[in-house]
Each structure stands twice: as structure tokens, then as C-alpha cells.
Amino acid sequence: GAVVSQHPSRVICKSGTSVKIECRSLDFQATTMFWYRQFPKQSLMLMATSNEGSKATYEQGVEKDKFLINHASLTLSTLTVTSAHPEDSSFYICSALSSGETQYFGPGTRLLVL
């Protein structure tokens, strides 16, 4: 149990376009999901906390207009990178909080902006 999927796994886009990443909890409901960014050989950096039915809470330094988060249901959160630029290229990982405190992670999305 506790499976989290992420789609797409990899995306290449042109500078200026928007990219949507989906995070789904497949076998449990998650009122809280998290979005992380990971640079090569570094730890995970929390970008925002996504709560079902309410606005996301962004970490300091993360532009909320740049990284739009929507958590419309108990099994789906989306991250939209708006007007993506090469510096947004990174590995994005979501996680979903199951009952209790354990986070289960999606497989990640590799974004490359040309």
C-alpha cells in the first residue's frame, strides 16, 4: 500500500511555456501533500505544503505565482511551473501524508527547460 504516482516522469519544454505535474495517492487519501525540489547530489528542498481544499503554504523564497499548486481532491495535487525558464530545470518530487506522520514519495519528475 501507500503508493504515490507522479506524471509525467520527464518533460522537456521550451522557455516561456507552462508545465503541469500531477501527484496522485493511489491507495489512500491524503489531505496533505508536499512538493520538493532536488538539485543534483543535494537533499530535498521543500517548496510548499498542499492542503486539500485550501491554499498552499509556500516556503520562504518560493514564488507562489511561479509555482502554482492546486489540491482539488484527496488524491490529487498538481504543481504548475508557469513561464518556465532554464533555471527552473530540476527534479521535482511530491509526497503524500498518510494517516499518521509518514510521507510516501512519488517517483519524481525531471524537468528540463530549453
Partner 1 sequence: AQTVTQSQPEMSVQEAETVTLSCTYDTSENNYYLFWYKQPPSRQMILVIRQEAYKQQNATENRFSVNFQKAAKSFSLKISDSQLGDTAMYFCAFIPGNYGQNFVFGPGTRLSVLP
Output the CA torsion sign for 46, 78, 61, 51.
negative
Of the two residues 65 and 101, which places its CB atom closer to partner 1 in the complex? 101
CB of 16 to partner 1, least distance (A): 27
- Return the closest-CA partner of residue 19 out of 96, 94, 89: 89
Q: What angle do CA 94, 80, 89 make, to 5 degrees?
A: 75
Residue 64's Cβ-side half-sphere holds a number of Cα atoms within 13 Å equal to: 10
Task: Give whichever of 54 and 87 is closer to partner 1, judged by the CB atom.
Answer: 54
What's the CA gap between 73 and 76, in Å, rounded?
A: 5
Q: Which is nearer to partner 1, 84 or 97 (CB)?
A: 97
Q: Catalog residues that contact partner 1 under the rule CB under 8 A.
A: 31-32, 34, 38, 42-44, 46, 49, 51, 91, 93, 95, 97, 101-105, 107-108
Minimum CB–partner distance for residue 11 and partner 1 (Å): 15
Smallest distance, Å, CB 67 to partner 1? 16
For residue 58, the Cα-to-chain-centroid distance in whole angstroms is 12
Q: Which is nearer to partner 1, 14 or 42 (CB)?
A: 42
